[in-house]
Amino acid sequence: MTTALSRNWEHAVVTGGAGFVGSHLCAALLGAGAAVTCVDDFSSGRPENISPLLEQPGFTLVQADVAEGGLRIKRPPDLVLHFASPGSPADYLRLPLHSLETGSTGTRNALDLAHSSGARFVLASASGVYGDPGQNPQDERYRGNVNPVGPRSVHDEAKRFGEALTTAHADARGTDTCIVRLFTTYGPRMRGHDGRAVPTFVRQALTGEPLTVTGDGRQTRSLCYVDDAVRGILAAAAHGMRGPVNIGSPTETTMLDLARLVVELAESSSEIRHIDRPVDDPAVCCPDITLARDKLGWDPQVRAEEGLRRTIAWFREAGTED
């Protein structure tokens, strides 16, 4: 069995390290004794996500766009985690070309850095590669149902191309690569207006606004708390597997049930309001995590109720504005 800390990394580069998941990865790696270089252009990441890390020994911030001019890192890494990507609907719809460039040129630059350094490379892919799936739950063999010209395509196709490029780099150049497919991940450091369900519902519940559930609310998501996701990512990095491997919770919940649970946990008086459902919004989204369980010994540990309590508490303290 491989655990997240079963391999001692000396120097990790985390692209998108000031983002939601990236900043948690930076903190976890520093806590495990690795030096960490965070690369971010702050197009969607936030300085406050990494401000507690700036004074820690071994942490370096490089402000740069991974899709421009290559990655100039002074110290060769032994681990490259490519998490630069506008991950929320508000960001990838605001930055469509940047999203595609980060998934293509940015991925190539990160792969070249890993190859030239002899480093392990981990690509952050996403459940978006499955699109609006015709199979539930989704296992890694499922090829997906993606609309290549729909509004979500800038995110979904960027992830699909990133996977193809990572696979080709490994086959053609022998780069040590791994692909992790992240499903709905949530927790502290999300932005209240980023368009994803959990931060949107929490913000609305804490401010007394109606919770806006799209469509009839019967579409499902599977909620994975960020600490569990980080454990899974680092376990895949340490294992040596190429993947792809799903990292997410196998427990589905409807959006309507999620909204009701957030209202209850936040002790809010907010009502629930139904609004139009976005184009190409997946009807179901649930990972088959058999591979992660069998190969990595990984299972999410934080139940949704507990993770949401922690997330709500963080928003109460940090505020609900971006």
How far apart CA 183 and CA 226 sit, in angstroms, is: 11
Query: Quick one: average pLDDT of 99-103?
Result: 96
In which element (H, E) is residue 182 found? strand 176-182
Q: Does residue 70 register a pLDDT over 80?
A: no
| pLDDT at site 1 | 35
**Number of CB atoms found within 10 A of residue 148's CB:** 9
Go through 47-83 and write b for each residue having 16 or more CB atoms within 10 A of its CB, e for each that does not: eebbeebeeeeebbbbebbbbeeebebeeebbbbbbb
Q: Which two tokens stand for residue 216?
A: 């009839």
Q: Which two tokens stand for residue 124?
A: 């952050």
Query: Quick one: average pLDDT of 58-62?
Result: 96
Q: Does residue 4 register a pLDDT over 70?
A: no
Query: Quick one: average pLDDT of 2-26?
Result: 86
Give residue limits of the domains in the chain. 11-187+226-249+286-301
User: In the chain, pLDDT over 90 holds for what percent of residues?
Assistant: 91
Average pLDDT for the chain:
95
* Confidence band of 305 (pLDDT split at 50, 70, 90): very high
* Confidence band of 322 (pLDDT split at 50, 70, 90): low
* DSSP secondary structure, 215-276, as one string: TTS--EEE-EEHHHHHHHHHHHHHH-----EEES-S-EEEHHHHHHHHHHHTT----EEEEP
Q: Are 67 and 103 in contact (CB under 8 A)?
A: no
Q: Are 238 and 6 in contact (CB under 8 A)?
A: yes
* DSSP secondary structure, 192-232, as one string: TTSS-HHHHHHHHHHHTPPEEEETTS--EEE-EEHHHHHHH
| pLDDT at site 90 | 87
Higher pLDDT, 213 or 90: 213
Q: Which residues share a beta bridge with 12?
A: 36, 79
Distance, CA of 68 to chain centre: 22
Q: Which residues share a beta bridge with 88?
A: none
Chain segment 78-96, per-residue pLDDT in tens? 999 999 998 888 888 899 9
How far apart CA 167 and CA 177 sit, in angstroms, is: 8
Please give the class, per CATH, of domain 11-187+226-249+286-301: alpha beta
Q: Does residue 45 register a pLDDT over 90?
A: yes
Chain segment 125-179, per-residue pLDDT in tens? 999 999 999 999 999 999 999 999 999 999 999 999 999 999 999 999 999 999 9
* Confidence band of 296 (pLDDT split at 50, 70, 90): very high
Q: Are 300 and 249 in contact (CB under 8 A)?
A: yes
* Confidence band of 2 (pLDDT split at 50, 70, 90): very low
| pLDDT at site 72 | 87
| pLDDT at site 320 | 72
Chain segment 248-270, per-residue pLDDT in tens? 999 999 999 999 999 999 999 99
| pLDDT at site 251 | 96
Q: Are 261 and 312 in contact (CB under 8 A)?
A: no
Q: Does residue 6 register a pLDDT over 80?
A: no
Query: Quick one: average pLDDT of 182-203?
Result: 95
* Confidence band of 295 (pLDDT split at 50, 70, 90): very high
Q: Does residue 299 register a pLDDT over 50?
A: yes
pTM of the model: 0.95
